[in-house]
Amino acid sequence: MKADFYETLGVHKGADEKELKAAFRKLAMQFHPDRNPGDHACEHKFKEIGEAYETLKDPQKRAAYDRFGHAAFENGGMNGGGQGFGASGFADIFEDIFGDMMGGGRQRRSSGGRERGADLRYNMEISLEEAYAGKTAQIHVPASISCTDCSGSGAKPGTQPVTCTTCAGHGKVRASQGFFSIERTCPSCHGRGQTIKDPCSKCAGQGRVTEERSLSVNIPAGIEDGTRIRLANEGEAGLRGGPAGDLYIFLSVKPHEFFQRDGADLYCKVPISMTTAALGGQFEVATLDGTQTRVKVPEGTQNGRQFRLKSKGMPVLRQPNIGDLYIQVAVETPQNLSKRQRELLEEFEQLSSKDNSPQSSGFFTRMKDFFESFGE
Ligand SMILES: [Zn+2]
Ligand SMILES: [Zn+2]
């Protein structure tokens, strides 16, 4: 009898995606085989957790499970035999969750001594203009790649690795101890199943060499700071014919001198003079599409007023929409006045009425009334 998926993860039936993920993460850490080497109960539990999470995180599978229980996934169920949780399928969801934590150094062993190459991380910084337009970037990745001399086999060109005589190519040997038969990694070939008589001189029998590779990476328009791009199989080459790791590009977008970004919208602060604000006027702003847009400042514009320039913001990733650009004006109070300027402003002040500054005139009278109300 299979355990209930919700019970396996220790969550209630209504648990949302976040709760599921948190529960899975916690349990997977606890029962991970790397932490419990040789403990079969843990390994079994680890698989159960993975299966439960794999099912419940998918809304369709979850709905089917809620309705039919485990029967939903037996042969002839929702999608026939497609429910195997093979090592690779499970490793993938594990990577989803733990990719960030494990960093680049994680390696998975597969059978036959072949080893999956390590994942690589590449940090890339682009400008906001580049994030706006998108680009194809050429990157140079120092990575170990499959040795070309021996085609990754590790054997000297012209020779072939030979089947290990100790284990007959199984990579494992069995030994009997009383009632038990114990399986061990073959000591002669270290689990590879093959031995190399004459190692390839270029790679010293490793089957891979370190070289700098040039890769072109497509950065889509509208990409956001902190995005991680995964290039499958572009990481370190596997050992002795094992699969390559993945390459992760961690993208950061440089802060811009004029524009601040919030999702697809851009914000720009533009200082204007007191007289432009009072009398009205206009200015031009350069936008990321390489054009200039005129902004009209109406008479009597207040400090902090925001103008919206539609569709002058950032493109939205893989969508046709474009965000807006918000221009906020900052009215600059004049400094270092000449004698004549001072006279003019003093004269202006004398001519001013309540209508000129409806917010400030009367403000202190109201404040005073408020203060005096305490004495009553
Ligand atoms: Zn080689
Ligand atoms: Zn062997």
pLDDT of 141? 78
pLDDT of 72? 67
For residue 49, which amino acid is it? I
Same domain as 302, residue 268: yes
User: Cα-flanking dihedrals φ and ψ of residue 372, to 5°?
Assistant: -70, -20
Ligand that lies nearest to the alpha carbon of residue 200, given by its number in the listed order: 1
Secondary-structure percent of the chain, ordered helix, strand, coil, rounded to 5? 30, 25, 40
Asked if residue 359 is part of any domain, the answer here is no
Give me the residues near ligand 1 (ion), CB cutoff below 5 Å: 147, 149-150, 200, 202-203
Same domain as 218, residue 138: yes
pLDDT of 211? 79
d(CA 122, CA 246): 11
Same domain as 38, residue 15: yes
Query: Helices 40-56 & 17-31, crossing angle to 10 degrees?
Result: 170
d(CA 267, CA 262): 8
Asked if residue 155 is part of any domain, the answer here is yes
Tell me, in angstroms, the distance from the centre of ligand 2 to residue 150's CA: 21
DSSP for 121-169 reads EEEEEE-HHHHHH-EEEEEEEEEEEE-TTTTTS-BPTT---EE-TTTTT
Same domain as 125, residue 63: no
Same domain as 144, residue 25: no
How many CB atoms neighbour CB 290 within 10 A? 9
Comparing CA positions, the residue from 21, 99, 102, 81 lying closest to residue 54 is 21
Same domain as 306, residue 283: yes
Tell me, in angstroms, the distance from the centre of ligand 2 to residue 113's CA: 10
Same domain as 247, residue 213: yes
Q: Pairing relation of β-strands 180-185 and 120-126?
A: unpaired
Q: Which two tokens stand for residue 233?
A: 């199989």
d(CA 7, CA 59): 18
Running along the chain, 376 residues long, what does each successive block of 10 average in pLDDT?
A: 85 88 86 79 84 85 79 46 31 39 39 73 92 92 80 86 88 78 84 86 84 87 91 81 85 95 96 97 94 96 96 91 96 97 96 89 89 84
Q: Which two tokens stand for residue 352?
A: 């001013």
Tell me, in angstroms, the distance from the centre of ligand 2 to residue 144's CA: 26
Q: Report helix, strand or coil for 182.
A: strand
Ligand that lies nearest to the alpha carbon of residue 192, given by its number in the listed order: 2
d(CA 198, CA 181): 34
Tell me, in angstroms, the distance from the centre of ligand 2 to residue 163's CA: 8
- CATH number of the domain enclosing 35: 1.10.287.110
Asked if residue 203 is part of any domain, the answer here is yes
Tell me, in angstroms, the distance from the centre of ligand 2 to residue 200's CA: 20
- CATH number of the domain enclosing 296: 2.60.260.20
Same domain as 4, residue 64: yes
Asked if residue 311 is part of any domain, the answer here is yes
Tell me, in angstroms, the distance from the centre of ligand 1 to residue 200's CA: 4
pLDDT of 271? 97
This model's pTM is above 0.85: no
Asked if residue 54 is part of any domain, the answer here is yes
User: Which segments are annotated as binding site?
Assistant: 147, 150, 164, 167, 186, 189, 200, 203
Same domain as 220, residue 141: yes
Domain boundary pick from 235, 253, 271? 253
Asked if residue 337 is part of any domain, the answer here is no
pLDDT of 95? 40
Same domain as 7, residue 57: yes
Asked if residue 369 is part of any domain, the answer here is no
For the stretch 116-140, what's the b/e string if a residue is b when 16 or more beta carbons lie within 10 angstroms of its beta carbon? bbbbbebebebebebbbeebeeeee
Domain span at residue 1 reads: 1-73
User: Cα-flanking dihedrals φ and ψ of residue 218, to 5°?
Assistant: -90, 115
Asked if residue 343 is part of any domain, the answer here is no
Same domain as 152, residue 246: yes
User: Which segments are annotated as binding site for Zn(2+)?
Assistant: 147, 150, 164, 167, 186, 189, 200, 203
Same domain as 137, residue 206: yes
Domain count, the chain: 3
